[in-house]
């Protein structure tokens, strides 16, 4: 069974990668400087120049091909799993909310750092799969998903150059979305839609407010 939203999101990331990278330098730092300057998630231009779209566009940029492959493999595997357990529209909403919360977390933790990558979405999807499976009667710990989350959170703090705020923000957004989606054997569509819409709005608002701390970072 096809998973249209998962495939679409992976495809968009790959397409953006092709347009924003110098293919002659694909093995190294190939991200074009103008793409980083114009589209990365960064506090100053969001707060002072009203370039609010950076809250979204930064999640579609990747530093290099390894960064892209790691995120897309994780998203493809976990995304298909979650999209199969829920519905394509609900999965799309979870991805969007995770993206917004990931960007908000990145801006909260480091508003003066240009952040790129879909890791916030990946962490959000990972968290949502865990909660949805657990609330639907499954045992994600037994399948190794819980361990995967713990390992990735630890790596977020250990590996240099990683946006800890982006990872934890996406994880938080995904956890809330998973809770809102609830037990898939007894779906309450309106409650889920309203809750996830409010969580998405909160993530966007938090991102804008966090960007305004660029002169005096909170963390």
Q: Can you give the pTM of this predicted structure?
A: 0.94
Question: Which structural domains are found in the chain, ordered by start?
Answer: 4-211 (1.20.1540.10)
R_g (Cα) of the chain, nearest Å: 17
CB 68 within 8 A of CB 13: yes
pLDDT, one tens digit per residue, over 75-112 is: 999 999 999 999 999 999 999 999 999 999 999 999 99
Q: Is residue 147 predicted with pLDDT exceeding 90?
A: yes
- pLDDT band of 1, cuts 50, 70, 90: low
Distance CA 146, CA 152 (A): 10
| 92, 201, 155, 133 alpha-carbon torsion, rounded to 10° | -50
């Amino acid at each position: 069974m096809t998973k249209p939203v998962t495939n679409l999101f992976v495809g968009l990331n790959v397409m953006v990668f092709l347009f924003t990278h110098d293919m002659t330098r694909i093995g190294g730092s190939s991200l074009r400087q103008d793409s980083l300057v114009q589209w990365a998630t960064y506090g100053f231009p969001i707060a002072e120049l009203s370039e609010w779209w950076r809250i979204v566009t930064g999640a579609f940029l990747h530093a290099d091909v390894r960064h892209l492959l790691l995120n897309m493999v994780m998203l493809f595997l976990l995304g298909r799993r979650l999209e199969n357990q829920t519905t394509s529209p609900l999965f799309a909403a979870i991805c969007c909310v995770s993206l917004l919360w990931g960007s908000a977390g990145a801006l909260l933790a480091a508003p003066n750092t240009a952040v790129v990558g879909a890791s916030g979405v990946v962490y959000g999807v990972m968290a949502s799969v865990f909660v949805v499976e657990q609330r639907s009667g499954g045992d994600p710990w037994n399948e190794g998903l819980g361990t995967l989350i713990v390992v990735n959170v630890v790596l977020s703090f250990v590996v240099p150059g990683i946006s800890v705020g982006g990872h934890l923000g996406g994880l938080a957004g995904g956890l809330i979305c998973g809770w809102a989606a609830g037990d898939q054997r007894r779906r309450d569509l309106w409650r889920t839609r309203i809750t996830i819409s409010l969580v998405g709005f909160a993530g966007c608002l938090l991102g804008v407010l966090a960007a305004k701390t660029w002169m005096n970072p909170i963390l």
